[in-house]
Chain A
Amino acid sequence: MDFSVVANNFSYFMLGAWPNGPLGGAALTLVLSVVSAIASGVLGLVFGVALAMTRGAAHSVLLMGLGFFRAIPVIMLIFWTYFLLPILFGIDVPGTGTVVVALSLIGGSYLAHSVHAGIASLPPGQWQAAAALGLSRGQALRLVILPQALPIMVPSFINQWVALIKDTSLAYVIGVGELSFVATQVSNREMVYPTEIFLFVALVYYVFCSTLELCANRVAKRFGTAAG
């Protein structure tokens, strides 16, 4: 084992070509993760509430749409967005934007079901009591239901976000210079130490994911004691 290859390329692994070029490496992985996490959270909330508030045909259409994103591999969706986004918007969409859109759609589709389950887990009496107090359905949702349902959903959000950090590595397939892409670049250039390079890269991802998981456990504990 000779980790000098990691030490020699450390700045490239962490930041890519920055500050002389675009941001890349682990920093870009973090940026992709944070932006997609926020977007998937918003999408999940919107579609989850929509699932809870709709009935009949609209509900079925929504379920099918969400089912589509859950049934196809992330790589296929990245291919689709890479191909379709420029056609839809008539502009050149950078690779990073493509990946964020794909990851947000998939993450949002999974989260929508968690949000729906969280809302459905509350007793119907909560809705009825809010209606009896003269609140509209929207007000009941905002003031009564979501404040109780959101803490229940925290663990699913965190799990989904851990999956999201890992999925940012798939940006590799369209040549976005995040950590995995940078790793293969260095590995191809140096030719000699692939074991060390990929062990190091795995360690960086491990630190990102397990830190998030650790925070999640603490948050879950706090909500657990608050509820009990």
Chain B
Amino acid sequence: MLDELLAPKYLGWLIEGFGVTLLLSALVSVAATVLGLGLCLARVAQSPLWSWPARAWLSVFRNTPLLVQLFFWYFGASALMPEKLLIWLNTPHVWDLKLFGVRWPSFEYIAGFFGLTLYTAAFIAEEFRSGVRGVPAGQIAAAQALGFTPLQVWLNVVMPQAFRISLPPLLGQYMNAVKNSSLTMAIGLAELSYASRQVETETFKTFQAFGIATTLYILTIIVIELAGQWLQRRKPAPGASH
């Protein structure tokens, strides 16, 4: 049935592009969550030595287009890099990890991953921050009164609750990561949008090419949405169940 719509070769392009989109957005989501947590901690720190750089980061990365940031990392940063590093980044390396070899990603992939991660982290940090603000101050005072050290207060009282409060907006950011990964097509990464455009140019079957790509994006978003609902049922936000 699908054969009549699109030759298997082109279907293969789209599936391959979809794979790139999924892997890239998964890697970005993990890295941006870790980085975003660090940024959030720096932003809420008492010392201006931490909070001001974090403020500047958040402001700059949230208030400039992702496309321009990607161009900057792809074209701009490579112009600043020492030639040796650039050559090393551009030559394929293979890491032999016993079971399977990991292929060194293309420079487009590295720049895309880097740019998307820094951008997404700035948004995730703000979601964490509103989660932290959602923890009542009385709880922190109570923990301190019980003799918790500042680190213990963070790890045992603030973080678990903040994480649960910020789970829904966090999932929204992961959805954005999937959608934003489409911008890497502008620096030549062959992800799903790029593939759909390629297929369209070669076959002139615009409906099929864009239709399949659009459906795959929507399916991914629905899966994340359902995963979120499932997680919410298992671990409801504090106060939501009572």
Q: Which residues of A are found within 8 Å of B72, using beta-carbon distances?
A: 195, 198-199, 202
CA distance in complex: A83, B211 (Å): 12
Of the stretches A35-43, A49-57, A203-211, the one at the interface is A203-211
Given A73-B182, A166-B66, answer yes or no on A199-B76 (Cβ-Cβ < 8 Å): yes
Question: Which of A187, A197, A198 counts the most chain B CB atoms within 10 A?
Answer: A198
Q: Please, what's the 1-or-0 string for B42-85, where 1 marks a CB less than 8 Å from any CB in chain A?
A: 00000000000000000110011111110110011111100000
Q: Please, what's the 1-or-0 string for B139-179, where 1 marks a CB less than 8 Å from any CB in chain A?
A: 00000000000000000000000000000000000010011
CA distance in complex: A223, B68 (Å): 34
Q: How large is the interface on A (under 10, 10 to 19, 20 to 34, 35 or more residues)?
A: 35 or more
Contact of B75 among A68, A71, A75, A187 (CB under 8 A): A187
CA distance in complex: A4, B175 (Å): 40
Q: Which residue of B lies closest to A77 (CB)?
A: B214
Chain A interface helix/strand/loop/mixed: helix
B120 part of interface (Cβ distance < 8 Å): no
A209 contacts B63, CB within 8 Å? Answer: yes
Q: Which residue of B lies closest to A179 (CB)?
A: B68
CA distance in complex: A168, B64 (Å): 11
Q: Which residues of A are found within 8 Å of B67, using beta-carbon distances?
A: 169-170, 172, 180
Q: Please, what's the 1-or-0 string for A131-173, where 1 marks a CB less than 8 Å from any CB in chain B?
A: 0000000000000000000000000000000100111111011
Contact of A194 among B63, B75, B175, B179 (CB under 8 A): B75
Given A72-B179, A73-B179, A75-B185, answer yes or no on A198-B76 (Cβ-Cβ < 8 Å): yes
- Shortest distance from the beta carbon of A110 to any chain B beta carbon, whole Å: 11
B217 part of interface (Cβ distance < 8 Å): yes
A3 part of interface (Cβ distance < 8 Å): no
Q: Which residues of B are found within 8 Å of A83, using beta-carbon distances?
A: 206, 210
A72 contacts B214, CB within 8 Å? Answer: yes
A75 contacts B182, CB within 8 Å? Answer: yes
A61 part of interface (Cβ distance < 8 Å): no
- Shortest distance from the beta carbon of A62 to any chain B beta carbon, whole Å: 17
Q: Please, what's the 1-or-0 string for A176-210, where 1 marks a CB less than 8 Å from any CB in chain B?
A: 00001001100100001111011101100110011
Q: Which residues of B are found within 8 Å of A170, using beta-carbon distances?
A: 67, 183
A206 contacts B60, CB within 8 Å? Answer: yes
CA distance in complex: A36, B182 (Å): 21
A10 part of interface (Cβ distance < 8 Å): no
A74 contacts B64, CB within 8 Å? Answer: no
- Shortest distance from the beta carbon of A172 to any chain B beta carbon, whole Å: 6
Q: Which residues of B are found within 8 Å of A79, using beta-carbon distances?
A: 193, 196-197, 200, 210
A195 contacts B76, CB within 8 Å? Answer: yes
B198 part of interface (Cβ distance < 8 Å): no
B75 contacts A206, CB within 8 Å? Answer: no
A68 contacts B185, CB within 8 Å? Answer: no
Q: Which residues of A are found within 8 Å of B182, using beta-carbon distances?
A: 73-76
Given A73-B193, A205-B68, answer yes or no on A198-B63 (Cβ-Cβ < 8 Å): no
A80 part of interface (Cβ distance < 8 Å): yes
A80 contacts B214, CB within 8 Å? Answer: yes
Q: Which residues of A are found within 8 Å of B221, using beta-carbon distances?
A: 71
Q: Please, what's the 1-or-0 string for B198-242, where 1 marks a CB less than 8 Å from any CB in chain A?
A: 001000001000100110011001100000000000000000000
B86 part of interface (Cβ distance < 8 Å): no
A positions within 8 Å CB-CB of B: 68, 71-76, 79-80, 83, 162, 165-170, 172-173, 180, 183-184, 187, 192-195, 197-199, 201-202, 205-206, 209-210, 213
* Sampled A-B contacts (9; CB under 8 Å): A79-B193, A80-B214, A170-B183, A180-B65, A187-B71, A193-B79, A195-B77, A198-B76, A210-B59
